[in-house]
């Protein structure tokens, strides 16, 4: 991504941080474990599935969602080549109508632009067109800022972007993430202790695998990880987006303990 010359927005006078947030990345649909990342426009999503997720949010008291737009295996908003073909209006409308229904149910919506790393034989390739990404981010951020509550550059960006690129990407989004004079928060999602200087908040994934190791990871281990991140964050708020896919007692104990930490402003439900 040719963003190295982009500077972060300095002195953001006003901000509407997605805080304090209770998000729910994982849920069960038709008896199967699923996640909310791709519910907006991913292959296989539908209005009925989207509505079922909103109901699941209500059931667990979740008030925020993270929605991905681009994934090389399952998500695009184009009929063909990335930024070189018409918009897929069916998917655009499916996405924006979902956002509007979420807002009608008083949920905070945080957009996650991309997912990676790049895959071979991609169904919806965009990494090979990263020179077009700044234009896409500008268009999408301007279009979505009137209705959403914040933005994240990408899912697990530590796996495919260096820190300079993450900083530049966040800074670019910040230029356009404004609604009625209020500068919307822009952050990251990483499984690392990196702290992008431009980020308004740090979205974190704990180091255990959320599905296969979530319940076997001790409360103390997760708390220790997040405390380490807080100590490195320089006062930036921490949102633990991804930790354990379970809805059981261990996940609740983990989330309650992390939510109690100074500097933590969001956790993954349930509690």
Render pLDDT for 162-197 as a digit per residue (tens, 0 to 9): 999 999 999 999 999 999 998 999 999 999 999 999
Which regions of the chain are under pLDDT 50? 1-15, 18
> Please, which residues bridge with residue 28 across strands?
33
Domains of the chain in sequence order: 21-268 (3.20.20.80)
* 71 DSSP 8-state letter: B
Asked if residues 126 and 114 have their Cβ atoms less than 8 Å apart, the reply is yes
Neighbouring residues of 153: CB distance < 8 A, sequence distance ≥ 6: 112, 113, 114, 161, 166, 169, 170, 173, 186, 187, 188, 189
Structure tokens that stand for 114 in this block = 């991309």
- The residue assigned the tokens 């998000």 is 23
Render pLDDT for 76-109 as a digit per residue (tens, 0 to 9): 999 999 999 999 999 999 999 999 999 999 999 9
Distance (Å, rounded) from C-alpha 22 to C-alpha 209? 20
pLDDT at residue 104 in the model: 98
Asked if residues 137 and 144 have their Cβ atoms less than 8 Å apart, the reply is no
Distance (Å, rounded) from C-alpha 5 to C-alpha 75? 28
Please report the DSSP string for 126-151 in residue order.
Answer: -GGGGGGHHHHHHHHHHHHTTT-SEE
pLDDT at residue 62 in the model: 96
Q: What is the pTM of this model?
A: 0.93
Distance (Å, rounded) from C-alpha 31 to C-alpha 11? 47
Neighbouring residues of 175: CB distance < 8 A, sequence distance ≥ 6: 6, 9, 138
Distance (Å, rounded) from C-alpha 55 to C-alpha 8? 37
> Cα separations (Å) of 70 from 96, 111, 177, 270?
15, 11, 18, 27
SS3 of residue 242 by DSSP: strand
pLDDT at residue 171 in the model: 97
High-pLDDT (> 70) share of the chain, %: 93
């Amino acid at each position: 991504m040719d963003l190295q010359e982009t500077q972060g927005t300095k002195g953001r006078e006003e901000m509407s941080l997605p805080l304090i947030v209770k998000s729910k990345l994982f849920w069960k649909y038709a008896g199967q474990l699923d996640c909310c990342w791709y519910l907006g426009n991913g292959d296989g999503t539908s209005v009925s599935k989207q509505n079922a997720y909103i109901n699941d949010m209500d059931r667990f008291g979740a008030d925020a969602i993270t929605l991905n737009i681009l994934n090389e295996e399952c998500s695009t908003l184009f009929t063909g080549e990335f930024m070189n073909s018409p918009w897929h209006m069916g998917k655009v409308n499916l996405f924006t109508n979902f956002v509007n229904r979420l807002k009608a149910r008083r949920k905070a919506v945080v957009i996650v632009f991309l997912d990676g790393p790049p895959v071979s034989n991609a169904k919806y390739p965009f990494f090979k067109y990263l020179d077009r990404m700044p234009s896409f981010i500008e268009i999408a951020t301007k279009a979505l800022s009137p209705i959403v509550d914040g933005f994240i550059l990408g899912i697990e960006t530590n796996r495919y972007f260096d820190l300079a690129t993450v900083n530049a990407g966040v800074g670019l989004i910040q230029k356009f993430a404004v609604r009625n004079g209020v500068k919307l928060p822009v952050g990251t999602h990483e499984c690392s202790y990196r702290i992008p200087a431009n980020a308004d908040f740090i979205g974190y994934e704990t180091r255990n695998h959320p599905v296969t190791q979530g319940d076997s990871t001790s409360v103390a281990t997760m708390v220790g990880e997040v405390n380490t991140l807080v100590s490195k964050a320089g006062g930036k708020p921490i949102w633990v987006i991804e930790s354990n896919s379970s809805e059981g007692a261990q996940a609740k104990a983990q989330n309650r303990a992390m939510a109690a930490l100074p500097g933590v402003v969001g956790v993954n439900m349930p509690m």
